[in-house]
Structure 1
Amino acid sequence: MPHAASEVATGTLFGIALNYKGLLESRLAEFNEPPYQKPPVKPVLFIKTPNTRNGDGQAVVAPAGERLQPGPALGVVIGKTASRVAEQDALTHVAGYVIVNDFSLPEESYYRPAVKAKCRDGFCALSDEVVELNDPHDLTLKLWVNGEVRQENTTANFVRSIPRLIAELSEFMTLHEGDVLITGTPEGRVDVQPGDEVIVEISGLGRLTNHIVAE
């Protein structure tokens, strides 16, 4: 049975960068240049701070003079404490899934996701219900802007599966009930403007709608 996200997904919001194969592949040349020399070998993690929380049907403020980009993503809600969890047991720690729109200003570096770009007020919208799914690795994500599909991808293109993410993260930090793992946004992010209607649709979960307003 679905649960209200406001009751279940109340913990820390952990974002994973570079978790779509197409996005990672598009940056490989950059990662092989100094100072990095190679692609990341562990998940690139960032935190969406509590002030970023937003909901379905709510406004998102476009900062004046900045480019604003939505980010369709699948959110994984932790259902029980996970510490040093084996990959094969990881899904037993999941309560369900939500739709996330991970808003951000354009990022200069995926190795150091900028707080200023990702942690503005209202920059992380979550859908209203936590839903159980049989297979979270075969979902279609679509980003609609004013009724037009601007991004489309599938969770089959994850670099790291959800069990692997939980295992790797819980290796060094405890995940608690209510925490949300934002499993990454696909390549091809687009700019949106005040007045735009932005919808993230994920098969099996429905739609999350936000409206962009001027600062």
Structure 2
Amino acid sequence: MNLLKRGTVYGTLLNFRGELDALGPKVNEAPYKAPPQAPVLYVKPANTWTENGGAIAIPAHVQELEVGATVAMVLRSAREIGGYVLMNDVRIPHESLFRPPVKYNCLDGFLGIGDRVRARNEAGDPAVFKLEVRVNGELKQTVRFSQLVRSAEKLLADVSEFMSFGEGDMLMLGCDTDRPRVRAGDRVEIKMPALGTLTNTFVAEAA
């Protein structure tokens, strides 16, 4: 398998226990009126992709963005994980409980993608993955994947019940709460020994 082949990139919501706990009773309010029974997904289209070391523009109408440090499964086939890669799932801060709105999640450059794909048998068990997120060199967040609602294998199995994947598609494991916020000029590093470091610099949108 060519682990550098890139297909569709999918994000996952509410797959960290902290996310669900933070919602509290809101999960029982309209429009859904209950906690999700299946994985909640969204697409990060090709216009959002930014390579490791690249700059991400902050739109002129917002002051800051949220960093979403995560790991994505890189699919070898419809139901087989080929490897893992670091991602920075950027979004405009919002509190919407509706389906993820494109205007917050899918602006140009809003997904940093690592350049090191580690094969599944070399990366280890995702349940023990731990990411460190630094902003301008200062540790701002530690993401522990022991806190997932669905493990990588379980997430893939549950999603595969209602959709199919192709080689090179990527499925993020989700983002934890308390995402660091960044402004123009900030440099973000997301690091995990097995997967390397994903670095992106945030800049003001060109006039």
Counterpart residue type for residue 75 of structure 1:
A
Which residue of structure 1 aligns with residue 114 of structure 2? 127
1:164-175 map, 5 Å: 164-175=154-165
Which residue of structure 1 aligns with residue 51 of structure 2? 55
The one of 15, 26, 29 equivalent to 2:25 is 29
**In 1, Cα distance between equivalents of 2:138 and 2:15:** 25
Say whether the 8 Å CA contact 1:100–1:126 is kept in structure 2.
Answer: yes
Residues 1:95 and 2:91 aligned together: no
Q: Aligned to 1:41, what secondary structure does the other structure show?
A: coil
Gaps of 5+ in 1: 83-92
- How far did residue 29 of structure 1 move? 1.9
Identity in percent: 39
- How far did residue 4 of structure 1 move? 8.0
Q: Aligned to 2:92, what secondary structure does the other structure show?
A: coil
Say whether the 8 Å CA contact 1:69–1:192 is kept in structure 2.
Answer: yes
- How far did residue 145 of structure 1 move? 0.5
Q: Give the TM-score normalised by the residue count of structure 1.
A: 0.88
Residues 1:167 and 1:4: Cα distance change in structure 2 (over 3 Å) = closer
Say whether the 8 Å CA contact 1:54–1:122 is kept in structure 2.
Answer: yes
Gaps of 5+ in 2: none
Which residue of structure 2 aligns with residue 75 of structure 1? 72
Q: Give the TM-score normalised by the residue count of structure 2.
A: 0.92
Which residue of structure 2 aligns with residue 136 of structure 1? 126
- How far did residue 37 of structure 1 move? 2.3
**In 2, Cα distance between equivalents of 1:52 and 1:168:** 26
Counterpart residue type for residue 167 of structure 1:
A
Q: Aligned to 2:77, what secondary structure does the other structure show?
A: coil
**In 1, Cα distance between equivalents of 2:109 and 2:60:** 15
Say whether the 8 Å CA contact 1:144–1:198 is kept in structure 2.
Answer: yes
Counterpart residue type for residue 75 of structure 2:
I
Residues 1:151 and 2:141 aligned together: yes
